[in-house]
C-alpha cells in the first residue's frame, strides 16, 4: 500500500487557522517511541478518523480526524481532502462533518455553526448565525434548505427554577427520565428547517416535548431528505417521563416541508395491505410478550397483510432510495428490548406497503446504503465475530460479499465510475439488477485503528479492496503488532463457541504468558475485531499478556437464539461459557500460564467480573471491573433507561410474586457473594455515569476492603460510562497495567 503524504504540517495548519484569541491547533503527532511496544501515550497520539463524505463525481473524499493533546488535556478536529486515486491528503483546517455541495465546494461544521468553503479549504464563509447552537445539519438535495439540529428548553420533567433564584442549583423533578447518560434533561434536540433563500426557520417539532435525534447517541443519520427535497423522514420516540423510560418504541415520520403535515409510517395504515408473506410474521416469543398490544400472525394473515401496529420497537435511521420510491430504515420487533435484532425494513411510499429484506440474515444490520438502481442495498453485519459486507434486494435475497478477519464500521456509495462499477440503472439497462458498485468503507481490527478503504464490488464478490487513508502509519510502523486467531470449543450445553486468542508481539510459543479473560459488555455487544482506545487488545498484548476473548451466549453474530439466551440468565450459561473458555485455554494452549490469570471487563463485563469474584474457585489472581453493576436490586431503580432492567430482570425487586426468572436474577446478584471474595480487585467508575451509577463501583470497592481484600478504586468525577479526557485516559491505562503487573508478573 502507498503511504499518504500530507501536504500541510501541523505548524502550517496552526498559522492558517489560528487567531490570537484561539488555542493552538492540535495536528498530526510526531511521537517517537523508545521501543516497539505500544504505550498509552502512543495510543492517545493516534489520529481518529470520523465522519467522511464522497464527492458527487466519486473522485474525492473529505474526512475528519480528531487529534488529542495529553499535555493540554483537550482535542480538536480537522478536515482533510483526498482524491481516491491519489496518495496525497490535503489538510483543510479545523472543522468536522464534511458534506459536498458540489465537486468543488464543501459544507462543514465549526464552533456550532455551518460553514462553506472551496474544496481546497479556501474561501471559508459562515452560513448560519445561531450563537454556536448547531449540533448537526443536513442539506436538501436542491440545496435550498438545510436541517439544523439545535437544543430547545425542556422543563416538563425538571421544573424551571424561579427567576428570583438565579443561583439556585437544586432541581425539582416530577417524573422519570430527568437525566440521561451523563446529563440532566433540561433541554432536548429539535430539527429546524432553514430556508436559505428567505432565512425563514421552522421547528419540525414545534410545541412538541419530544426529541429528534434521539438521545443520547442519535445524530443527523436519524433524518433524511427525499430526493425531490419535498419531504423529510425523521426518527422520533413521542413519549416523555415514565412512558419514555420503559419503552423503545420509536417511529419514522414523513414530514411535508411545504404544508407541515406528517404521517407516522410505523403506525398509520391508510393503504390496501399486500398479501401476507409468512417469513415476515412475528416470532412466537414476540406474540406472547406480555401487554404489547400486538396482533398475532394468524390475525395478520386473516386480514391479508402486514399490520404496521407491529412496529413497536426501535425504528430509526431512514434513507430514501435514489429514485424516491422507497424508504428504508432499521427496525426492531419488540418494545422494551433494546438489543433486539436490527432488521432492514423497506417501505414503498407509493403503496404504503412494508417488508423486511434481511430476514435470512440471523444477525443485525448495523449500517446500510442504497445502490444506485434503487433495488439493491448494501449493509454491514456481524457474523462469527467479524463485521463484513452484505447485499440484499427488495425480495430479501441476501448475499455475503466480504469475509475479512476485520470489522467494517460504516459505508458510503461512491458515484458512478463506469458500467458495472457503480453504474446507474440507466447505464446498466432498464429493469436490470445492479451488478456492481464502488463503496467507501471504514475498516479496523485488533491491530489497526480506523482507516478508509475503497471496495469495488462486481457480481457476488469484492474484486478489489484498496486502502485509501493511512492516518496512523507513522506510529504503527514503530510498533510490533501482536496477532489474533480464532478458536472454537464446546460449551457445557454441547454447542460450539468461538473465542479470540490475542498473542503478544515477538510471541515465543515455548514461554508461559500471564493471561487475561476479557468479559464483554452490552450484555449483547459482539466481540468482533473492534478497535478501542480504552479496551485495546493491541496494548494489552504489548504489555506481555495473552487475551482470551469469548463470544459467549448473549452475543450477536451466532443466531438470534444464541443472542437471546442471556436475558434473565445473567449469571447462568454466559458465566459457564467464560469459565469454559479460560479452562480450555489453560488445558490446550501451552503458552497460557494457569497460575497467572486475570479477569477484566466493563459494564456487563464489569458485572461479570464482580460475579466471577465470588465463583471462580481459585482460577484468577486478580480482577478489574469498570462501570460494572454490583447490586442489581439497587440498579433496577438507579438506571435511567428502565426498559433495560424491565426486560433483562423480568420483574421489579419489590414484587413478592415475581417470576422465577426475576427471582433467580436478584438472588444471584454479585453483592450477595462478597463473603466468597478472596482475590485482589480494582474497581473503576465515572461519577457522571447515569447508566450504571458510580455508587455501584464504590460499593464493590468498599465491600472488598471491609472483607480485608486488597483493592483499589479509580474514580472519575468528570467521566460518564466511558473515559473521554486524554489525561484521564492515560491514568486509566497506567492504573490498569500497574494493577495487572502487580499480581500477574510476580
pLDDT of residue 112: 98
218 class by beta-carbon count within 10 Å (0-12 exposed, 13-18 middle, 19+ buried) = buried
Query: What's the confidence (pLDDT) of residue 18?
Result: 38
pLDDT (mean) for 16-40: 81
Confidence of residue 293 (pLDDT cuts 50, 70, 90): very low
In this predicted structure, the answer to whether residue 127 has a pLDDT above a threshold of 90 is yes
Confidence of residue 268 (pLDDT cuts 50, 70, 90): low
Where is 187: in which H helix or E strand?
strand 187-195
The DSSP element (H or E) to which 635 belongs, if any, is: helix 632-638
Q: What is the CATH number of domain 481-721?
A: 3.40.50.1820
Residues belonging to the active site:
603, 689, 721
What integer pLDDT is reported at residue 419 of this predicted model?
29
pLDDT of residue 87 exceeding 90, the answer is: no
Query: What is the torsion angle, in degrees rounded to the nearest 10, for the CA atoms of residue 661, residue 662, residue 667 and residue 668?
Result: 70
pLDDT at 415: 78
Residue 651 clears pLDDT 90, i.e. is over it: yes
Q: Backbone phi, then psi, for 201, in 5-degree steps?
A: -130, 135
Q: pLDDT at residue 254 above 90?
A: yes
Residue 379 has pLDDT above 90, yes or no: yes
pLDDT greater at residue 23 or residue 365: 365
Q: Assign 433 a pLDDT band (cuts: 50, 70, 90).
A: low
Give residue 310's pLDDT band: very low, low, confident or very high (50, 70, 90).
Answer: low
How far CA 477 is from CA of 88, 465, 467, 504, in Å, comes to: 19, 21, 16, 16
pLDDT band at 574 (very low <50, low <70, confident <90, very high): very high
Tell me the percentage of the chain whose pLDDT exceeds 70: 89
Which of 178-192, 262-276, 284-298 has the highest average model confidence (pLDDT)?
178-192
CB 194 within 8 A of CB 145: yes
Residue 228 in this model has a pLDDT that exceeds 90: yes
Give me the mean pLDDT over the 436-463 stretch. Answer: 93
In DSSP notation, 310-342 reads G--S-EEEEEE-TTSSEEEEEE-SSTT-TTS--
Q: Is the separation of the CB atoms in 496 and 7 below 8 Å?
A: no
pLDDT at 152: 98
The pLDDT of 677-683, averaged and rounded, is 98
Pick from 190-204, 287-301, 478-492, 627-641: least confident = 287-301
For 540, residues 6+ apart whose C-beta sits below 8 A from its C-beta are: 502, 516, 547
The domains of the chain are located at: 1-30+47-134, 481-721
What's residue 396's pLDDT? 97
State yes or no: pLDDT of 508 exceeds 80.
Answer: yes
Rounded to whole angstroms, how far apart are CA atoms 206 and 374? 33
Sorted by sequence, the CB contacts under 8 Å of residue 588 that are 6+ apart come out as none
The pLDDT tens digits of the residues spanning 93-117 come to 999 999 999 999 999 999 999 999 9
Closest-CA residue to 60 (of 39, 37, 79): 79
- Assess whether pLDDT exceeds 70 at residue 731: yes
User: What's the pTM?
Assistant: 0.91
Please state which of the ranges 14-23, 487-496, 691-700 shows the lowest mean pLDDT: 14-23
3-state SS assignment for residue 548: strand
- Cα angle value 19/24/27 (rounded, 5°): 125
Q: How far apart are CA 246 and CA 318, in angstroms?
A: 23
Amino acid at each position: 500500500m502507498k503511504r499518504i503524504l500530507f501536504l500541510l504540517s501541523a505548524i502550517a495548519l496552526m498559522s492558517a487557522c489560528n487567531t490570537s484569541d484561539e488555542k493552538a491547533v492540535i495536528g498530526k503527532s510526531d511521537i517517537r517511541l523508545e521501543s516497539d511496544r505500544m504505550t498509552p501515550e502512543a495510543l492517545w497520539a493516534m489520529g481518529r478518523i470520523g465522519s467522511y463524505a464522497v464527492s458527487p463525481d466519486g473522485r474525492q473524499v473529505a474526512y475528519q480526524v480528531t487529534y488529542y493533546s495529553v499535555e493540554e488535556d483537550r482535542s480538536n478536529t480537522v478536515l482533510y481532502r483526498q482524491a481516491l486515486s491519489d496518495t496525497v491528503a490535503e489538510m483543510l483546517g479545523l472543522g468536522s462533518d464534511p458534506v459536498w455541495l458540489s465537486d468543488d465546494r464543501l459544507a462543514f461544521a465549526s464552533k456550532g455553526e455551518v460553514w462553506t468553503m472551496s474544496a481546497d479549504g479556501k474561501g471559508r464563509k459562515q452560513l448560519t448565525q445561531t450563537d454556536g447552537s448547531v449540533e448537526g445539519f443536513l442539506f436538501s438535495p436542491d440545496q435550498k434548505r438545510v436541517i439544523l439540529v439545535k437544543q430547545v428548553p425542556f422543563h416538563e420533567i425538571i421544573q424551571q427554577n424561579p427567576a428570583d433564584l438565579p443561583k439556585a442549583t437544586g432541581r425539582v423533578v416530577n417524573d422519570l427520565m430527568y437525566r440521561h447518560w451523563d446529563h440532566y434533561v433540561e433541554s432536548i434536540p429539535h430539527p429546524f428547517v432553514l430556508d436559505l433563500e428567505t432565512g425563514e426557520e421552522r421547528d419540525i417539532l414545534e410545541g412538541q416535548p419530544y426529541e429528534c435525534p434521539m438521545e443520547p447517541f442519535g445524530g443527523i443519520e436519524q433524518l433524511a431528505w427525499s430526493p425531490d427535497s419535498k419531504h423529510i423522514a425523521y426518527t422520533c420516540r413521542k413519549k416523555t417521563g415514565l412512558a419514555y423510560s420503559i419503552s423503545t418504541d420509536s417511529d419514522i415520520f414523513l414530514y411535508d416541508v411545504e404544508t407541515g403535515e406528517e404521517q407516522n409510517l410505523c403506525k398509520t395504515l391508510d393503504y390496501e395491505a399486500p398479501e401476507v408473506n409468512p417469513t415476515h410474521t412475528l416470532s412466537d416469543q414476540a406474540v406472547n410478550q406480555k401487554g404489547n398490544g400486538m396482533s398475532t400472525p394468524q390475525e395478520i394473515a386473516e386480514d391479508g397483510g402486514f399490520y404496521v401496529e407491529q412496529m413497536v420497537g426501535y425504528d430509526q435511521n431512514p434513507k430514501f432510495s435514489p429514485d424516491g420510491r422507497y424508504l428504508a430504515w432499521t427496525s426492531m420487533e419488540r418494545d422494551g428490548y433494546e438489543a433486539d435484532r436490527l432488521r432492514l425494513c423497506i417501505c414503498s411510499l407509493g403503496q404504503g406497503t412494508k417488508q423486511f429484506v434481511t430476514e435470512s440474515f440471523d444477525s443485525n444490520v448495523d449500517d446500510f446504503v442504497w445502490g444506485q438502481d434503487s433495488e439493491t442495498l448494501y449493509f454491514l453485519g456481524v457474523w462469527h465475530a467479524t463485521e463484513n459486507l452484505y447485499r440484499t434486494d427488495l425480495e430479501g435475497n441476501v448475499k455475503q460479499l466480504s469475509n475479512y478477519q476485520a470489522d467494517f464500521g460504516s459505508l458510503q456509495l461512491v458515484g458512478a465510475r463506469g458500467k458495472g462499477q457503480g453504474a446507474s440503472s440507466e447505464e446498466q439497462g432498464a429493469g436490470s439488477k445492479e451488478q456492481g458498485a464502488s463503496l467507501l468503507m471504514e475498516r479496523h481490527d485488533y491491530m489497526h485503528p480506523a482507516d478508509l478503504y475503497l471496495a469495488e464490488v462486481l457480481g457476488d464478490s469484492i474484486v478489489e479492496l484498496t486502502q485509501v487513508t493511512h492516518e496512523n502509519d507513522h506510529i504503527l510502523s514503530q510498533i510490533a503488532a501482536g496477532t489474533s486467531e480464532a478458536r472454537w470449543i464446546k460449551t457445557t450445553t454441547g454447542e460450539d463457541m468461538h473465542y479470540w486468542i490475542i498473542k503478544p508481539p515477538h510471541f515465543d510459543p515455548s514461554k508461559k504468558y500471564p493471561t487475561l479473560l476479557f468479559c464483554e459488555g452490552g450484555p449483547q455487544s459482539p466481540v468482533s475485531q473492534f478497535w478501542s482506545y480504552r479496551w485495546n487488545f493491541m496494548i494489552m498484548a504489548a504489555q506481555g499478556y495473552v487475551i482470551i476473548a469469548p463470544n459467549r451466549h448473549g452475543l450477536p453474530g451466532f443466531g438470534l437464539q444464541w443472542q437471546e439466551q442471556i436475558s434473565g440468565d445473567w449469571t447462568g450459561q454466559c458465566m459457564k461459557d467464560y469459565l469454559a473458555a479460560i479452562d480450555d485455554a489453560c488445558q490446550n494452549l501451552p503458552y497460557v500460564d494457569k497460575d497467572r490469570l486475570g479477569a477484566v471487563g466493563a459494564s456487563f463485563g464489569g458485572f461479570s467480573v464482580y460475579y466471577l469474584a465470588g465463583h471462580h474457585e481459585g482460577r484468577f489472581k486478580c480482577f478489574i471491573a469498570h462501570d460494572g453493576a454490583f447490586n442489581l436490586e439497587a440498579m433496577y431503580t438507579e438506571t435511567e433507561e428502565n426498559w433495560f432492567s424491565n426486560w433483562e430482570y423480568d420483574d421489579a425487586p419489590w414484587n413478592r410474586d415475581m417470576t422465577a426468572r426475576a427471582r433467580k436474577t436478584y438472588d444471584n446478584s454479585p453483592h450477595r457473594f462478597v463473603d466468597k471474595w478472596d482475590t485482589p480487585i480494582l474497581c473503576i467508575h465515572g461519577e457522571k455515569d447515569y447508566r450504571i451509577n458510580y455508587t455501584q463501583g464504590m460499593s464493590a470497592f468498599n465491600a472488598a476492603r471491609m472483607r480485608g481484600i486488597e483493592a483499589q478504586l479509580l474514580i472519575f468525577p468528570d467521566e460518564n460510562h466511558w473515559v473521554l479526557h486524554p489525561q484521564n485516559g492515560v491514568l486509566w491505562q497506567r492504573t490498569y497495567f500497574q494493577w495487572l503487573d502487580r499480581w500477574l508478573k510476580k
